[in-house]
Structure 1
Amino acid sequence: MNSYHFLSRYICCLTLLFSTSAFSLGINDSKYIELGGSLDPSVFNNVSSVLEQNANAEQLRSVGLVIGSGYCSGTWLGSDDSHSYILTAAHCLSGSDSTEYSGQYVTFKQQDGTIIAAGISTNYFRTFTGCSDDIAVAKIPKVSDPLDANGDVIKQPFVDNNLNTDLLLNPAILTGFGIFGSRSLGQLAYIGKRHGEGHIRNYYQDCLINQAIEDTDSWAFASPGDSGSAIWQQRNEHPVAVGISSWWYGWQYGYSGHTPIALHIDWLKEIVPILKTVDDIEDEPPIDEAVWLLTHEVPVETDPLEQDLRGSVYYVKGDNVVSGPTRFIWRYPRKVTKFSVVLTQKENNTEHEVWLRGQRKTHCAGDVLITVHGVTLRQT
């Protein structure tokens, strides 16, 4: 099938019009099977929860649910003292045949139901005609700020301000509140915001075209309800919103179309005075390196079961703080043995399992030290 042939046929917008919660997203069959699903329609395996795990990662917390003309997705661009600015698709809001419209009641909420903005919105458009300009900003009365896991206001997301088609034709992250389904089985589930990996394959008539391909790392595509959700790529080691989900072409083909944000950047800067673009990344204050604290001081127990054996040390599981190895004998002399230890991040008191590489060192006096990444553990 020609890459562009489908554009001449009927294309479905992604607005979800029925009055239930909205969900996301479409994936190819090979990924569905990999996650534990079955293509046998009589055997229903809801694997959608796996895709929820990364959907609320810090860099995606700005993506929320837009309730206006149906259910759509949107991205919080920032707030001033009285209003929040929400980036979404033009066909998700009333008044898209004009450049500005006021009078629609619009709500924007996070995955957990927290309402960020609600009230009579002022909607701004680019005279919507199709995918190339299916972009809008809703200026909605502010209710609260979106918060991160520590209770702090999340950082404003960056948007693309340089229309570089070579960069755009790359892998992308998709997340939104559209229907979840697979290419063969169609619609499958109705719960939760989800995350997927796509790839922009073509730039056609000022529209970014994403396609999910079987047995590849590009397995996700936008589905009904994902309209208005941002797609993300890396720029200067930061996630950047580069497109707005506009349409899909049914479950079978795995295509979705996205409006390039950089194409409308001058207009967007006029509408959102607090906008953050790629140019603002270098002005971000440096991030302090995490301070790690070793939470236990109990030494590793390495009891030499055969004391007269030269060249080997045995590991005995006891009341110590590390995990592994599963075999008794240590690798010696040139290889390493892996251990894990729990470290606590001082700033937020969160625990992390860290794997260490240990190697036995033998000294003439018979004392054995095991040095692991700067942490010295003495034989007992």
Structure 2
Amino acid sequence: MPAAQRVRRGATLSLVFGAVLMAGAAAGAWDEPDRAPLPPSSDTAQLAAQDLTGADLSPQQAERLVGESGDRWAAYLGPEQYADTTRGRYLGVGLSVDRAADGSTSVTEVVADGPAAAALIAPGDRLLRIDGEAADALPVTEVVARLRGRQAGTGVVLALSRTDGPVREVTLTRAVLAAREVAVDHPAPEVTRIAVHAFTRGVADQVRTAARGARGVVLDLRGNSGGLVDEAVATASVFLDGGSVASYQVRGERRELVAAGGGDTATPLVVLVDGGTMSAAELLAGALQDRCRAVLVGSRTFGKGTVQQPSRLADGSVLELTVGRYATPAGRSPDGEGLLPDVPAGGPGDTADLAVRVLAGLRARA
């Protein structure tokens, strides 16, 4: 069997390590279920009572099941939303947020041509309130969920401020936006920075193209919300020559996610991570760290190490349920703890500069 086929089978395409809710990138992405869903873990026991594939549930019934499941990562997606997310489109206002160490909530990225950009919101703005509620008092996932909403054309009212500036309120109208998942630049001579915001279809091929011929690579996974597991494994395959990427347990059986052979194992590689690095991005970062392929620079990652199983309902909508947890090649689970970088950094600017310096050191030793 060709290596690429082995990887796809190992990846189990009906599983996702995607974060359901992130505001700036694809906000998580799901792959098409190719078989009946696996038995969920105990935290979704209410939903496990029946095989929901093909079930004729109304949106209200599906949302109620999600709400009552006790599974914080469970989600319901309508047919169009499901299609949009897997194709690199998402519902939102075009901004990403992060929670700082002091508990404040700030804008980290604004998508060009999106509703937030049109309202002149800029990175660094502090998000004070969302629809009248204090943003800092809400979990980040709830902030993001409220930014995203459930329907295009609906509004959300934000109160923001800049350093020592007045508070201003803006009303943004949610829209379906095209995600720009991969961005490439050159922060220093012979250094290629590849920023990956989420793992939707085609991302691994874009990373492979961007990394081809590079003398040193900075793989920027800051704010990456996760996504399709096969894309995360394929991205790992760009920098690994076979071997383990991660493993997970299903019904007591250990299953392995394996990189394809023939990846670039020589080019110096630094991976940037932060508190917004989640799920499939943590899986990728943990694999490269455990395999001694990359140096991680930044701050502790989010800590989402769970696996979700999508079930397609009769109307084409999807229920996504947690079925287990994954582990890195060294057997670590980032769930609840996150991954620690090899080289801690301060703010975003410090992190980027430090990455270039670390990469220069790696290149000098190569």
TM-score by length of 2: 0.26
Greater gyration radius: 1
Q: Which has the higher helix share?
A: 2
TM-score by length of 1: 0.25
Q: Which has the higher strand share?
A: 1
Bigger relative contact order (CA 8 A; separation at least 6):
2
